[in-house]
Structure 1
Amino acid sequence: MSIKGVRLLTGRILIVAFEGWNDATEAATGALKALSEQISGQILEAVDPEDYYDFQFSRPIAEYDDDGQRFLNWPTTELLQASPEKAKAQPRLQEIFLLLGTEPSRRWITFAAEVMEMVQDREIDHVIMLGAMLADVPHSRPVPFFKSSQNKAFQELNNLEPSSYEGPVGILAVLAQAFEADNIPVMSLWASVPHYVHNTSNPKAALGFLNQLEALTGIQFDGSSLVEEASEWERSIDEVSESDEELSSYIEQLETSRDAMDSEQASGDSIARELEKYLKSRPESPEAGKA
């Protein structure tokens, strides 16, 4: 679903995605990881994992570097920017920053304050929050996206609706509130992904995010690394459904319903309702938000 009626965002832009509660099938973080790789993202700052993560919940991962040395990759949140070489080839990348990490387990208020310092130091003009939710959508159709903003000026300028959701929230909402309190306009961009394919990453949705970011920023992003993965992902689900009559019938119903949505407004309203239903159904972490 293409973004219409939204003016190109100019100035310094921060794009945000977190693994965990806000990121069904790793669609949002998958997009930012692909983007970071193609711009040779360099870490500008990172939070101290000891301050914000429960390592029994978000465990460090043992890995090997290019020299064969074993190391531990700790959960954290990093602020990244394109390498000088990439920025020289595409100057607009100098104004793009990525905030990528794992949703913290505790001290969310302090975490938000630390992230705000990073953002203020870079004089960010706009923030785009990426999130993904499980919904009743077919894997065989374009990924639906829903955009919103709580900033009134941003709403009027870009024909955006505010979110009417009430209920449990993730770290994206906490950070968005902090940004807005500092007069930094925030746009939330959510993807709906098939709930019947929830145990694997979704490269099709990640590719969709890159396309949406191109439309919002006017910057060309290379999604070629995800195209083949997305095609294989869709093909593998087709093969499974062909041998499962019940699943195949269900997918056909979703396709019929999706095809009947012949207006962007109807699609947006439906996705907004799905988002509210999804967030309200998510279990709350007993540690979430403790400061």
Structure 2
Amino acid sequence: MLVVAFEGWNDAGEAATGAVRVLQEQLDVTAIFEIDPELYYDYQFNRPVIAVDDDGKRRITWPTATLYGPSAPAADTDAPAPLADDADLSVSGSNGGNIFLLVGSEPSRSWKAFTAEIIDAALTHDISTIVFLGAMLADVPHTRPISIFASSENDEMRGELQLERSSYEGPVGILSVLAEAAEQAGISTLSIWASVPHYVHNAPSPKAVLALIDKLEEIVDVVIPRGDLVEESGEWENGINALAGDDEDMAAYIAQLEQARDTVESPEASGEAIAKEFERYLRRSGDGKGDGRNEPPARG
């Protein structure tokens, strides 16, 4: 199984890449493939970064995407992909579940060639399932659980995991391009998206990282150590509460979002009420308040 996240459009609050970085820290993985940045990145948009390394030398790091694989792959088997009812994996140490990771910056150009390289690498390493992690800015309150939407374009996977099919139509990021190419190559895919409060989009969101990890753990049936994420999530929420406490307009807006969220999720909520709330979200997203860059997983 390959878990994928990219910085940029698909990564509000750095939630998706943050979740993959957590996996990278917990798994025994090593870099096995790296995209050539000269081919796919505009350095005026994704600038290289200079920093001092462990040896005290200043070195430049170029934007790229890196595929990580198990340092000591488990023996090949004919078992199905490690999905919810089929495996009991513990994500730690030896990485016996043969989980691969792909993380990096969204490419600036030549998406078709970029996608071909990634799919070729996935096929080379016998990847049978790809899980795409994403995060979008949304009209949601930070005080409630982070909304998560999981979907798949694969009929078999939707039936097995009781997932929905996204009905979104509009501009897409690299995740959608990779997902379509993977399905065409015979690799099953699913997507997990987190909704990050748009009024705190400039700050990393550990609460959204935690929500993505929770959902990944639920779907794939893995055990993922949380580290300091729970504590960091609480501090993140408390920090926003403190800001709202000094800003009446912000506090009033958050209260409106809380009321809308509670209405939609109440046991008495009708399908019509939920549809109206979603229509309101779409209207707000289309009037220039949103950044227009995300791929909202509309349920239709």
TM-score of the superposed pair, with normalisation by structure 1: 0.84
Classify the secondary structure of the residue corresponding to 2:38.
helix
Q: Which of 22, 46, 50 is the equivalent residue of 2:10?
A: 22
Counterpart of 1:167 in structure 2 is 170
Asked if the contact 2:28–2:71 (Cα under 8 Å) also holds between the matched residues in 1, the reply is: yes
Q: Tell me, yes or no, if the aligned pair for 1:146 and 1:271 is still in contact at 8 Å.
A: no
Paired with 2:255 and 2:40, the residues of 1 have a C-alpha distance of 44
Q: Counterpart of 1:76?
A: 64
Which of 21, 31, 39 matches 2:27? Answer: 39
Relative to structure 1, the CA distance from residue 99 to residue 271 in structure 2 (aligned partners, 3 Å threshold; closer, same or farther) is farther
What is the match of residue 207 of structure 1? Answer: 210
What amino acid is aligned across from residue 152 of structure 1 in structure 2? D
1:14 Cα deviation from its structure 2 partner: 0.8
Distance 1:276 1:66, change over 3 A: farther
Contact 1:81-1:96 within 8 A present in 2 as well: yes
Work out whether 1:262 is the aligned partner of 2:229. Answer: no
Read off the aligned partner of 1:224 and give its amino acid letter. G
Distance 1:68 1:215 in 2: 42
1:78 partner amino acid: T
- In structure 1, the partner of 2:133 is 130
User: Could you tell me how far apart the structure 2 residues matched to 1:60 and 1:234 are?
Assistant: 32
Aligned mates of 1:145, 1:51 — CA distance in 2: 34
- Shift of residue 88, structure 1, vs aligned partner: 11
The equivalent residue for 2:80 is: none
**Count of aligned pairs between the two proteins:** 272
1:246: Cα distance to partner?
A: 1.1
4+ runs deviating over 3 angstroms: 82-94, 263-284
1:198 pairs with 2:201:
yes
The 3 A distance-change label for structure 1 pair 121 and 54 is same
Residue deviations 1:49-105 (CA, integer Å, cap 9, x gap): 101000110001111211211111111001112444999965554421111010000
Query: Which of 137, 149, 168 pairs up with 1:146?
Result: 149
Alignment of 1:224-243 (within 5 A): 224-243=227-246
How high is the TM-score relative to the length of structure 2?
0.82
- Residue identity over aligned pairs, in percent, reads 45
1:186 aligns with 2:189: yes
Letter in 2 for 1:238: N
What do residues 165-207 of structure 1 show as CA deviations (whole Å, max 9, x unaligned)? 1111110010001000012111111100101101111111011
Match of 1:113 in 2: 116
Structure with a larger share of its residues in helix: 1
RMSD (CA atoms) = 2.9
Unaligned 5+ runs, structure 1: 1-12, 285-291
Deviation at 1:158, TM superposition (A): 2.1
CA contact (8 A) 1:146 1:268 kept: no
Question: Following the alignment from structure 2 to structure 1, what is the Cα–Cα distance between the partners of residues 236 and 33?
Answer: 34
User: Which consecutive unaligned segments of at least 5 residues does structure 2 have?
Assistant: 75-89, 294-300
Cα gap change, 1:85/1:157 in structure 2, threshold over 3 Å: closer, same or farther? closer
1:276, distance to aligned residue in structure 2 (A): 11
